[in-house]
Structure 1
């Protein structure tokens, strides 16, 4: 088969698809993958052919205490602008080399728009919680101060509607239940999905997989030390204040702290780095989690699933609404704890929370059960089976 993938150029959306792509190419299918050129090496390693899009991910902002309506609207306006820019090249690509099925990231609206325009069979991938006509995702992804009548949000609505009109598709094809595909692959175990009983057979909860990202790395912690892994992801990580608090909380302790500060924080501005800290912009996350006792995380869904695969308890410090929803679910299921981001984190409280989570036997038992659910979900082979059956 010829299978085309389209995913916005964001690690949390691209990475979960790669094990599925790898399984499809292993079975002999030809896969073309449209996303930003920065992911070219990983796309090639999965066996697919990159169709590079002129698409750099927009800067996502979140105020201290959580994302605001204005910040969400800025992100959405930028996404519509990027979609408008790359639409013509995607249409040309898929017209010249028509696939048997188009697989698109559920929030990458270009996929459902082009499938509607060209009459292509469509499958969706969900790297986060899934939604349908019975389970509305909107409350999980909107800020606490959400007001759809704010001028900037109204600008997004106007831009979205105009793009749909210019492209000649109904605006409903750009998101929501009307845009969901006949096959929806969710990179979560069903047990992690809220209200999972509301999802029928058209939703396949195949769970996460490390795939090619688990090929190994030479990172090793000092022998005999407990490892605390700290990371706020690849998108919203401009939180020098938070990283400084972590240093206050764990500097000189018996923890070895591997702290990823991202691409926006200058390590020098954090002051003197304690001897028990290893601070870098990024770490090979699957490898570090193999050694970690606790993960102090933003709870992006990709990071959350990778921690659960390694049975690492999570202390959540979310930055945007969808991360908060993930952190709440982690706490509901007894897989970790959620910190209150509406106020500054006290170093003593932070250290106490990490220590409590590290020794909580109930959390460890729940993690073992969730890891079993992940193993039973089927992973990339189940997703590839579903795509093949859809085309047949």
Structure 2
């Protein structure tokens, strides 16, 4: 069986799929993967063949460069993503590959990658949607979540999901094509959702088309190595890998908050911030562009996180409570879900070293949070991950290929 994957070249979208690809290859299936050439090593290391796509160059605009102007930041991001997908469609890379190779299925990232679903429909092969975050159906959507306030960024009065939808409509009109809906699309016959049903809003409205397999974790061969520091509780701090991680002020507040030595701190600052901007770090604070996140979370006591969905699931899988400092709208939704489920705390308003420190201390000392996180960790570890996803794909395609 030949399964074709396609996704944009972003860690939050690629990482959940890699253990699934490895699992399928281990079962004797052929897997090809269309994504950014820069991810060749990651794709080939799990046994798939890369089908290179053009590089996705996100604009260097973020909450630091446009303080308080979330609408402008997200509009730049969405315009870039929509035009990128239009370029792929125009170049015909995915259409031509699916037409020539006739894979048994196209697994496409439902959040962003429209060309995959389009190619599958055009050629008439099964389309399988991969959801790295919340799934949408006829009863629940990102739009409805935003209307309830869950998707609005701090300090932003407008509905950013609605703004993103409007950008898609405007650009589609300019290009003379069909509107591109970045977040919802009609449900595929099979949907693999990399979160547990227990974390999904309106979970009881999702039918047998949706398989909530939880996080798909596995070794990342390019993550580097890390040795846990000794002495004191361990705090992991990261704002993820998107352009929104350029936040020198936040990193400096964290150093000021935890520089007294009680906490051992692993501080990931991304590649957009020069460590020299932060001055000399105290001995208990280790600063890197990035850490091998799964290794750190196996040892962490608290995760001070942007609450991207991958990071959220990885933290909860390892039983680590979260103090949430979301940087973009869907992360705000995750942060609120974390707080509502008693899995940590969502920081809002203007931050300060004292506020950050107190939130971390409070969450670390809260037995109710500890119990809730332990329960959620058990749920995640029993969800099935890559094996459950591969089982669902094989079962679905077996039924389609052998009616």
Is this a same-fold pair by TM over 0.5?
A: yes
Match of 1:95 in 2: 99
Match of 1:104 in 2: 108
In structure 2, C-alpha distance between the alignment counterparts of 1:154 and 1:301, rounded to whole Å: 24
In structure 2, C-alpha distance between the alignment counterparts of 1:216 and 1:239, rounded to whole Å: 22
TM-score by length of 1: 0.92
SS of the residue 1:73 aligns to: helix
Which 5+ residue runs of structure 1 have no aligned equivalent? none
In structure 2, C-alpha distance between the alignment counterparts of 1:192 and 1:121, rounded to whole Å: 27
1:218 CA displacement: 4.2
Map residues 142-291 of structure 1 onto 2, 5 A cutoff: 143=153, 144-146=156-158, 156-161=168-173, 163=175, 165=177, 170-171=178-179, 174=181, 178-213=185-220, 218-235=225-242, 236-291=244-299
Match of 2:18 in 1: 18
Q: How many equivalent residue pairs?
A: 385
In structure 2, C-alpha distance between the alignment counterparts of 1:89 and 1:82, rounded to whole Å: 12
In structure 2, C-alpha distance between the alignment counterparts of 1:225 and 1:147, rounded to whole Å: 42
Q: What's the CA shift string for 1:217-240, capped at 9, x where partnerless?
A: 641233222111100000010100
SS of the residue 1:96 aligns to: helix
Tell whether the 8 Å contact from 1:69 to 1:153 is kept in structure 2 after alignment: no
TM-score by length of 2: 0.89
RMSD of aligned Cα (Å)? 2.3
Tell whether the 8 Å contact from 2:3 to 2:107 is kept in structure 1 after alignment: yes
Which 5+ residue runs of structure 2 have no aligned equivalent? 399-403
Distance 1:311 1:248, change over 3 A: same
In structure 1, C-alpha distance between the alignment counterparts of 2:294 and 2:131, rounded to whole Å: 21
1:215 CA displacement: 10
1:356 aligns with 2:362: yes
Map residues 366-385 of structure 1 onto 2, 5 A cutoff: 366-385=372-391
In structure 2, C-alpha distance between the alignment counterparts of 1:94 and 1:366, rounded to whole Å: 45
Distance 1:364 1:79, change over 3 A: same
SS of the residue 1:213 aligns to: coil
Match of 1:42 in 2: 42
Distance 1:148 1:163, change over 3 A: farther
In structure 1, C-alpha distance between the alignment counterparts of 2:46 and 2:313, rounded to whole Å: 20
Match of 2:138 in 1: 133
